Amino acid sequence: MSYNNEYLRDDNLNINWYPGHMKKTKELVQSNLKLVDIVIELLDARIPFSSRNPDIDKLVGDKPRIVLLNKSDMCERDDLDAWITYYHKKGIRAIPVNAMNGDGINKVINECKNQTKEMMEKFSEKGRRARAIRLMIVGVPNVGKSSLINKLSGRKSTQTGDRPGVTKGKQWVKIKGNMELLDTPGILWPKFDDQRVALNLAFTRAIKDEILDVETLGLRLIERLSEIAPEKLIERYKIDQINESGLDTMEAIGRKRGFIMGNKELDYTRTATTVLNEFREGKIGKITLESPLELE
């Protein structure tokens, strides 16, 4: 499955990142799947398609699954509803959450209990004590897994950080509602066939800025926002208009912010970094970068 539009090609920013620990994480998921009752797939609500690992469907198989749309507070409600409907049609329950403040967490716990109710009833019929519901959480780097676990457990039990790769190894964590959760590090996949997916992951920092051309990445984000949220770009940066050229719009933003170097040339790096960071922090507005309509 991919976007129905032409792949975005850019010889200057061909993103392909697959650190060695990603392969180990995939093997970790495979080897521990039999230990869990439910798989929680955590997605970034701003990029619900791009933040899905295509390997997960094959890895998880028929195991019960819940999709969580994290960072839902950074999206318009209509966009969230469209994605919830999209997953509903696939027979998957999708729940918007905010792992930072805990919004939606109780719905997640209730849904886990609903999906394992029949299993627990069978334990009772056999005279066995109900054991803890066992969960596995999977997702790409920097999607908010550690923050979610901390809210589920009610304590700061895992490391968190606004950069990919903070969670390093397997962790079992006791959480609310007599449940246990197996955390895994973020997992990407070996090759991005669609560079637009790769860009979306880079925009949201699922891929480290350190390995990217930040100036070009910032320009590509400005071009994307000019298409889907031009009014928010104009309002945030107080520019007169969106230009036909993304580079012209980038220059207008930089000059409006006063990002001028000693030789009176624009500081493209500072402009790009500012737009990227302000998008990631939600300062430009509530924005979803992709729609389920693009998949039809």
Alpha-carbon distance values, 103 to 70, 73, 97, 177 (Å): 10, 9, 5, 17
- What pTM was estimated for this model as a whole? 0.84
Report pLDDT digits (tens) over 91-122. Answer: 899 999 999 999 999 999 999 999 998 888 88
Q: How far apart are CA 160 and CA 154, in angstroms?
A: 14
Amino acid at 120: M
Residue 282 is classified by DSSP as T
Q: Where are the beta strands (DSSP E) in the chain?
A: 38-44, 65-70, 93-96, 133-138, 171-175, 179-183
Question: Which of 187 and 292 is assigned the larger pLDDT?
Answer: 292
Q: How far apart are CA 2 and CA 254, in angstroms?
A: 34
Instruction: Kindly list the structural domains of the chain, giving each domain's residue range(s) and its CATH number in brackets, ordered by start.
Output: 20-183 (3.40.50.300), 195-295 (1.10.1580.10)
Question: Which of 245 and 32 is assigned the larger pLDDT?
Answer: 245
Read off the pLDDT band of 238 (50, 70, 90).
very high
Report pLDDT digits (tens) over 258-270. Answer: 999 988 899 999 9
At residue 165, the pLDDT reads: 41
At residue 2, the pLDDT reads: 43
At residue 225, the pLDDT reads: 98
The string over 196-229, giving b where at least 16 C-beta atoms fall within 10 Å of a residue's C-beta and e elsewhere, is bbbbbbbbbbbbebeebbbbebbbbbbbbbbeeb
At residue 82, the pLDDT reads: 97
Question: Which of 247 and 2 is assigned the larger pLDDT?
Answer: 247
* 3-class SS of residue 260: strand
Q: Where are the beta strands (DSSP E) in 15-150?
A: 38-44, 65-70, 93-96, 133-138
Q: How far apart are CA 126 and CA 39, in angstroms?
A: 25
